[in-house]
Amino acid sequence: MKIQSKKISKKPFVIAAAIVSLLAVATLTYVYALNGNLFGWNNNNTSSNDQTATNLDKPTKEQIKAGNDIKNQNANKNNSNSDTPPTPVSQSGSNKENVEIIITAKNQDQGSGVLQVRAQISAVVSTGQCTLTMSKAGQTVTKTAGIQGLASTSTCKGFDIPVSELSPGLWQSTLTYENDALTGSASEVITIQ
């Protein structure tokens, strides 16, 4: 017995491939040549209503001067919120550098009867000691605290002083920090109620 094989025509496959190719070329032409704007598409993600253009010309002398003035103003600001602390300054007659200390909080909590004093050291350190000395009319209260290093500064671990140790009124307060290489201090008047 003889098996007959049917011959399959290649014509429909050729026509289908030609149609798919034509559609692909038309789509690419639309997207790239016409920027996709015919049907409201926008392939560069900018609004068609946006009329601003980027000026790529060289800056003028006035623009350069204005930019440099802003840079200098920012460089000269002493901003305590900056990520970069001030550089410690050498003290004359001492082998230690002076570092800025900022008293960041002095809160009297009436509920717990505690005075909370917090301070920031403008250097990243992990050793040393903070000392808070409070004086008023012959009375002196002295407390010490350790150091906590942070990402761009450090802090005294804090002082929680029972208000029962302090009489009401104005207290002259001096907070000092010292380690083998650095020293610094800050003074403020704290009112005890």
pLDDT at 80: 44
pLDDT at 177: 95
pLDDT at 48: 47
Q: Which residues of the chain have pLDDT under 70?
A: 1-6, 31-55, 72-94
Residue 30 exposed, middle or buried by CB count within 10 Å (0-12, 13-18, 19+): middle
Q: Does the predicted TM-score (pTM) go above 0.75? A: no
Q: Which residues have CB under 8 Å from 185's CB, separation 6+? A: 101, 174, 175, 176, 177
pLDDT at 75: 60
pLDDT at 142: 95
pLDDT at 12: 80
Strand 182-192 to strand 97-98: parallel, antiparallel, or no bridges (unpaired)? parallel
Instruction: Provide the residue ranges of all domains of the chain, joining segments of one domain with +.
Output: 10-43, 89-192
Q: Domain 89-192 falls in which CATH fold?
A: Immunoglobulin-like (2.60.40)
